[in-house]
Structure 1
Amino acid sequence: MMRVTITLCSLLCLLSLSTAYPILKGRHNDTGSNPFSPHDPSDNVTGMPDRCTGEGFGAIMLDDRGVMHYFRGDSVWMGFQGPTQRINETFQGLTGPIDAAFRNHNHEHPLEHQRVYLFKGSQVWSYFEGKPVSGYPRPISEAFPGIPDDLDAAVECHKGECRTDSVLFFKGEKVYVYSPKEDPAVKQKTWTNLGPCTAGVRWMEKYFCFNGINFTRFDPVTGERLSPRPLDTRDYFVRCPGRGHAHTVRQNATLMSIKNRCSNRSFEAFSSDDNSKIYAFRGGILPFFRKSLSCFSRCLLLYRLSVRPNFLSSPDNKIFLVDLNTRKQSGEARTIIHSEVDSAMCNVHGLYIFHGPSYYHYKDVKELLAATKAPAPGSIATYFMDC
């Protein structure tokens, strides 16, 4: 029995350390709270929109000089800490809101290389060195045949990082890969693991998808999430009071909320050892350990998380039971009522399902499988972290 117990706890620990769990839209307090001089919107005395509020951005792009532009409504911010400007003051003949934007990359056509394109509704505008390009605005269907109107985001993809110089257009759950040199020129994909993007940008040979104020890095060919969790744009892409990273790490609300066991940020995994300690894993830092509860040796509960184990939303909501003697699946996969699960843990007190800041307690796996309604949620911070 000791061998089985150790095997279970070891497998749980390995599972938690070897997988990365992205934080999806709708998860509780995933931006975190910042106890270190947070930005107060009332500090804005200009009356102009403030880039540091939590709305995020409708489009992001680099211009032909390599300066980052952040669009929201009728406003644009340039660079890491530039002031608020009106879009029509910076881009002649264009008003917000902007749906999507990107900087073209095409060395084989020098006249098109480094142009920027901005999309609004069914039209696209183009600029180079701050001046409008002749022939624009044009309908998107003429400038980019096969690309739909009312886009969510766009980002250029360089040859070598994609097969050829391409543009990724996002609309809802669909991604349109526009590659004029390929046949067909437009390939439609569905990247469910990535989730919706309200803006996209290529920066330092890496690709970022923004959803509201949060962002995550992704593979431009497969759509795979490459970030262990979304991060807050205000900690990395723009300068905001009370936030930051590197030498201002204690102002980084994202990192500090990961380190703070009482922040209500979701945990990636729970496990327990033979010394009756529970370990909670979050963000790749040393685990938190709290309550004295014995490790349960009967079963290992694995949650089917779509195609990859690091995706936190499963359309079929299934669990698998694993025989620890053979390390093979025992029986068929079974459906449960929880559509999103961060982690699960068994001990002598029963089965715990973790999601966001809450846990759900069941007497055993049979009770979970038979449940048609989730039990009342409990607070992870209160019960497990003694907050």
Structure 2
Amino acid sequence: MLDSIRALVYICLTWPSSATIPDRCDGIEFDAITPDEQGKQLFFKDGFLWKGFRGPAQRVAESFSGIGHVDAAFRMHREDRTEDHDHVYLFQDEMVFRYFNQTLQDGFPKKVEQEFPGVPCHLDAAVECPKGECSADSVLFFKGSEVHHYDVATQTVKKKEWPEVPPCTSVLRWMEHYYCFQGNNFTRFHPVTGLVVGAYPKDARAYFMTCPNFGHGSGDHKLPLCSEVKLDAITSDDAGKTYFFTGPSYMRLDTSRDGKHAFPVTRMWPEVAGGVDAVFSYQDKMYFIKGDQVFIYLSGAHYSLIEGYPKTLQEELGVQGPVDAAFACPGDHTAHIIQGDQMKDVDLSATPRTVTKATTLRHAKVDSALCGPDGLKLFVGSSYYEYTATSELGAGQVERMPSPITPSMMACRRD
């Protein structure tokens, strides 16, 4: 009871007046950033909180009881321990607070050293780093120029210094990339090596919030109509990540917790510029077809081009271009290459690879195709056709009715 009264007194004494409510479009420096249990990004500043990339600020205490200002924050990733997984940790001075569904958990707050042995207090920033992006489920704690890499399972800490990463006042993991914020700018870095690739810093207002006259955040930006959507390629990798490609951009479709956002293709696959003709996945690899060339990338948190590529279509797949669409079904060794109304099957387990079967399709033109556990989809313009197997695609098979692409499938708006 006494602790609750003290917390209430603290909040009252440190409660910002309504006249000091910050506007993040003014270029403020965030104290902390983290996703919540549902994936919505939380931005903290001086006892205030924004939920998501748009909207006004609210007081932290309205959502998280017992805490005023926040120095650092992260969401725990630990799927093997449901009692910890998806809990949100907020840091204040020497203390750490743990919440689930915005409810303070029993036994908290605690001293930072009690919950995270070897991690310093008075942190500047923190961020989760799941296994696959780091070598094990980890948390990166930032203080000054030092990064404390905390292994969640072993509770061991390795201290590092990353000269390319500026001192971070907050850090965000978003769409499997890591961003260090300093002032109203950010720098993207690799979570294992600390390497920075690209032109940084950049203004956060152009990317991570809706601010008038600031690039991606411009209030003038509108999603395309669903009837205007045309997919150049679509594929799902072995990890269950689904990507679609249109022009020079791509979008992840399986990231409902992070939202659907378009990025340049070169952001993830720098060697493929100016769009792609077709993409398919096979055995932890993604095959990009562009013109008469094939680029093959090893799948993972960060895709890497296999040495020796690109190669010609003829050399890699035994076909001549151009290619309209391509797909491979999970567990199958066949790549289905669509050119006009023809589908050519290529045995990916054979050397050299050659066409083993050709099928005349009932569709004169296919833009992209996706095969998964729930069947096969052929995309034509802003519509798609569903099939249960490739044997149903022939010209003599029963005609299927098209379904329209909807906002629930990808980022577009209804007519």
Query: In 2 relative to 1, CA 188–249 (structure 1 residues): closer, same or farther, beyond 3 Å?
Result: farther
Query: In 2 relative to 1, CA 186–47 (structure 1 residues): closer, same or farther, beyond 3 Å?
Result: closer
Tell me if the contact between 2:210 and 2:218 (Cα under 8 Å) persists in the aligned partners: no
Match of 1:72 among 35, 38, 45: 45
Match of 1:51 among 1, 24, 28: 24
Tell me if the contact between 1:216 and 1:226 (Cα under 8 Å) persists in the aligned partners: no
Partner of 1:90: 63
Give the whole-Å Cα distance in 2 for the aligned partners of 1:56 and 1:202.
17
Partner of 1:238: 209
Partner of 2:354: none
Partner of 1:123: 95
Partner of 1:205: 176
Query: In 2 relative to 1, CA 246–70 (structure 1 residues): closer, same or farther, beyond 3 Å?
Result: closer
Deviating more after overlay: 207-216 vs 240-249:
240-249
The sequence identity of aligned pairs, in percent, is: 47
Q: Note if 1:190 corresponds to 2:170.
A: no
Deviations 1:54-78 (A, max 9, x none): 2220100100011101111011111
Query: In 2 relative to 1, CA 247–130 (structure 1 residues): closer, same or farther, beyond 3 Å?
Result: closer
Letter of the 1:78 counterpart: K
Quote how far apart the aligned CAs of 1:151 are: 0.5
Larger RCO (CA within 8 A; separation ≥ 6): 1
Deviations 1:202-230 (A, max 9, x none): 10111111111100111000011133211
Deviations 1:121-179 (A, max 9, x none): 00000111111111110000100010001101100001011000000000001000000
Bigger fraction of residues in strand: 2
Tell me if the contact between 2:131 and 2:137 (Cα under 8 Å) persists in the aligned partners: yes
Query: In 2 relative to 1, CA 195–126 (structure 1 residues): closer, same or farther, beyond 3 Å?
Result: same
Give the whole-Å Cα distance in 1 for the aligned partners of 2:156 and 2:85.
18
Matches within 5 A, 1:98-109: 98-109=70-81
Give the whole-Å Cα distance in 1 for the aligned partners of 2:152 and 2:76.
12
Tell me if the contact between 1:200 and 1:208 (Cα under 8 Å) persists in the aligned partners: yes
Query: In 2 relative to 1, CA 55–196 (structure 1 residues): closer, same or farther, beyond 3 Å?
Result: same
Give the whole-Å Cα distance in 2 for the aligned partners of 1:246 and 1:73.
23
Quote how far apart the aligned CAs of 1:244 are: 2.8
Partner of 1:319: none
Aligned length: 205
SS at match of 1:245: helix
SS at match of 2:113: helix
SS at match of 2:128: strand
Backbone CA RMSD of aligned residues: 2.1
Tell me if the contact between 2:211 and 2:219 (Cα under 8 Å) persists in the aligned partners: no
Tell me if the contact between 1:218 and 1:227 (Cα under 8 Å) persists in the aligned partners: no
Which 4+ residue blocks in structure 1 deviate beyond 6 angstroms? 246-250
What stretches of structure 1 of length at least 5 have no aligned partner?
Answer: 1-44, 251-387
SS at match of 2:215: coil
What stretches of structure 2 of length at least 5 have no aligned partner?
Answer: 1-17, 222-415
Tell me if the contact between 1:209 and 1:217 (Cα under 8 Å) persists in the aligned partners: yes
SS at match of 2:90: strand
